[in-house]
Amino acid sequence: MPNLDFSREDQAAIVQRIQEYFLQEFELEMGGFEAESVMEFVAGQIGGHFYNRGLYDAQSVFTDQIELINDAIYQLERPTGASSG
């Protein structure tokens, strides 16, 4: 079983969403055990892809903010009065 690190409340909400989805889309009533099994399967098989994508998105936001800070610092530079040539 993958380490999902969800609170009991979050896990219960996810299981409920899975149950509702299967009922609505496939007219299949699913018990809590079965829905939890689906959640664990999805987390184990493809969860890493979503997690990694979240990391890449966070890194992109961080990089964009660093560029904004670098630009702001550059704008604070003062002329040195030194002439080249």
- Write the Ramachandran bin of 5: left for phi over 0, alpha for psi from -120 to 50, otherwise beta: left
Give me the residue label for tokens 């009991």. 8
The pLDDT of residue 83 is 67
In our burial notation (b when 16+ CB lie closer than 10 A, e otherwise), range 66-85 reads eeeeeeeeeeeeeeeeeeee
DSSP per position, 27-52: -----HHHHHHHHHHHHHHHHHHHHH
Element (DSSP H or E) covering residue 14: helix 8-26
Instruction: State if pTM tops 0.75.
Output: no
> Dihedral angle at the C-alpha atoms of 11, 46, 54, 14, nearest 10 degrees?
-20
Is the pLDDT at 3 greater than 50? The verdict is yes
Sorted by where each begins, the domain ranges of the chain are: 8-71
36-78 pLDDT, tens per residue? 999 999 999 999 999 999 999 999 999 999 999 999 999 999 9
